[in-house]
Amino acid sequence: MANPFACEVALTMDGQRHVLKLTLGALAELEAGLGEDTLVALIRRFESGAFASRDVLALIVAGLRGGGWQGQARDLLCADIDGGPMEAARVAAQLLVLAFGTAAGGGDGDV
């Protein structure tokens, strides 16, 4: 079960529930995989609604890795995510909100 007080979010892929969390290691991997030098640029993109699908994918992979998942980004290309792309975007934004306290995805911190 995901614990939001521990900055955890749940996502169901291919019928299996996963816990996502942005650990320091996951954040370092996320930074390395992004076209930006800092995570601040990614947070700003989510806050403005100008994020791309690659941003969502990168955040989901980082969160899954932080939750102990051993897969690769390519494993998600064919994954069936309950709720589809909108749920994936919501979960990605929620990861940012919990990790950084930003208003990503919503002005009041709710995602």
What local confidence, expressed as pLDDT, does residue 60 receive?
Answer: 95
Q: State pTM to two decimals.
A: 0.82
Tell me which residues of the chain have a pLDDT lower than 70: 36, 102-111
For the stretch 23-28, contacts whose Cβ atoms lie closer than 8 Å and that sit 24 or more positions apart, written own/partner, are 23/65, 23/66, 25/65, 25/66, 26/62, 26/63, 26/65, 26/66, 27/62, 27/99
What local confidence, expressed as pLDDT, does residue 105 receive?
Answer: 44
